Structure 1
Amino acid sequence: MDLANPYYLIIEASVIIILSFFFGEISKRTNVPSVLMLIILGIFLQQGLRYFGLGNLNFFPILEILGIVGLIMIVLEAALELKLERDKYLAIGKALIVALLGLLASTWAAAEILEYFIEDMTPQLAWLYATPLSILSSAIIIPSVTGLKGHKREFHIYESTFSDIMGIMLFYFISSQLPVAPTEGADGLDVIEHHASGLAYLGNILITIVVSLVASYVIILIFQNIKSHVKLFLLIAVLLLLYAIGKTLHLSSLIIILTFGLIIANMRLFFKGPLRKLLNYKQALHIYEGLHVVTVETAFVVRTFFFVIFGITIVLSSLLSLQVAMVSGLIILSIYLIRFVILRIFLGSDILPQLFVAPRGLITVLLFNAIPQEVQVAGFEPGVLLYIIIGTSLIMTFAMIVDKKRTTSAIRRVASAPIGYERWKAPTLADAIVEKEPEH
């Protein structure tokens, strides 16, 4: 069978997307993340490819492209969800602090564990490897918390979004501080070159923010006047172009995507004073609504193929290592211990099921694939990645199921309790006079 036949490829891709849709529906009813089902599907496909003698195919270039597009779509999707409304400032600020402290503390703990157990793991490299393991997955969390109470659902949306964005920035900051491959100097000695300093990186971010603001305003003002019905994918193409150009110029390109998403999602906040006259709010709102739909749909397709291909590329033998299981277990334990302390401080005693909603997912895999080849540690087993993704997802699944049963049970108790009633007659003027008469 020629699996490379174009018609077979179309059939295979279509079946995968259809299965992904049904996985999403199953996920809504069972709270089992569809990501796990996609990874398992990829593992089965891996066995099928080996059966047909295609086990040595190199999927990394496809995974890399899907990773870049997926990263852009996830950040854009998250930014479009962030409504900067006055009555939500406290909730947003609290979620921001929890996400930042959780990210830094979890990264520190994971780095200590990796440095202790893995050979050749320096402190800097340990932080680089630990950062992806400490980022919450908004791609898993946002669809999974739809059944929670309003304030809890909003907290998870804000927290996971901030964790994604800050985690990505922390990863690339650490990456910029690592030494690159040695080069031969003028005197024949090897010279270790370093990337930009912390101050230079901060300057890079400031420049990127200015560029992002200008570009975002210009894009909105131009696209609101475009009458064509195909402008949404044109807009996405422009954003992809800006991201790629920013990367070639060593700018923090994701800030461009984040800034644009925030501005178009909160146009009334950013277009004030003289700028308000330039904005055609009705037309711009159509762009936002259409972009939201396109982003969600594109992220769905990219996420589907990314996790399936990730499952195909998993080396199952690494899961049998006792050290991999032990390192993964310690990191998972540290995640929830740190999360318990932080949530207890900032949210009080009502921290269920929030405590266990801390899955790792797409961003974790994407950033691991972005670790520069010259600084990769041979002793690090990819099985750690899979253990932590599956472990945190299963823990979240169990917690959501328990919370759903508890909520359903409470509703049933209230519904089954008899509610008494009696007829009531409105008092008359005569009744009021009688009540006021003094007793003899």
Structure 2
Amino acid sequence: MKKISCTLGSLLNDHVSLINNDISYTNRVLNFNLSLEQYDQLSKYVKTIGVTHRFTDVINRFKTPANETPPGFRVECGLEANGVLKADLVRDIAYDKNGKRRPTNVLFSADSANPYEILPVSKIVANLTCNPGIIYDLFINNPKANIGNQYKTRDEVMEEIGRIMGPGTDISVELNDPFGKSETEIIEEVEKFKEMLSEYRLVIKVPHTGPVTKDNVSQLLTGNKKLARSYQEVTTEGAFWGHNMALMLKEKGYRVNFTLMFEPYQTALAMQAKPYFINCFIRQRAMQSGIMDQCLKQYQATHNPKYIENIREMFLDKDYLTMDQAQTDLLTIKKMAEEMLSYRHYHDVEGSDGLDSVRHTLRVFKNSNLDESKLIICSMEGEFNYPDIDKLLVEKEFEDLVHRVIVTAEPKYLARFTSCNHVVSYQRRFMNAANGEK
């Protein structure tokens, strides 16, 4: 026998009524499901049913059609004094409109600030990520993307993105300069985003800063644009600059997307910043591991030092080494590469797909006390990154964590995995049949 169906509306009777001023809002949730146990408990105490101030604010702010609740919110009910039951709308991007869960526990996100590009995915993704590189380099200053130079400022772009994405999508935005601003200036910039996008959708991206500080960040903007200091040569204040900024924003009520996580050892310390989103970048690390592995194999086969020199050049280009370390001896370079590949499990099942950092981070999540934090798996490339992530997320070890995962990529990259060769074959057959051919 099927379970007995109960709704919030089932509580209404001669002794239980709707709060008059809330009726147009409360009607939107009268079909909200209750278990028989919940119904039995509530029926003993409820005298009137209404909605919270936040409920009405959400409905009005997003101009939600009659008898609906917007996507991006779950319905929760709370029993107040004198038997008043109030429905609330709580921000939760795992939910579609009318308090229904999205189709899968794993959510999707897009890396883009191109309004033309995000329109086709606006009803598919639960989050959108924008950083200065995406906004300026890939869109505003790119004439191929910013058609006719229609958009001239970041604010114009963000307002249009907010309009397109609607209430169900979080929008992660990053400050233009996390180093040169006071706390007051940071809050002023954040408040501008809040006014534009609403507190319900806004998430502030805060980057790891490592050895980069307000005193040396100018080195990245002039000359060879290289930092004189090694990525390992940090100051305590500088390395935790991003962590403390994230904590400050959290304390002021903002959700934080803590970004620039490339190595799994960053995870537990990053969690101390109490982030809403935490990131795991995979493309750069996996590609560089592949280069190291290939060069080491070529050196082993030929003993030609040029292959180790190639690794050294990559180390300089990708900031493993500073320019002062350009003549590091080749034996040291070889040892560095071998140790990194070992740490990254490059030659075993844990990391041969380049996803050891994802597995490690999910295990940290399993042992954390931040139940609301979500992991963004980002920065993908190639034919197998997404399929390998898809396989990882159905591994039994992680089945209780998939609801905390968001897979993020450029819309075009996600789009390619909606298709395969058989789609073409069958469409050829179907279209020819419909066209009257045998």
Q: Compare the two structures and name the one with the higher helix fraction.
A: 1
Which range, TM-score by smaller chain? under 0.3
Give the TM-score normalised by structure 1. Answer: 0.23
Which one scores higher on RCO, CA 8 angstroms, separation ≥ 6?
1
TM superposition score normalised by structure 2: 0.23
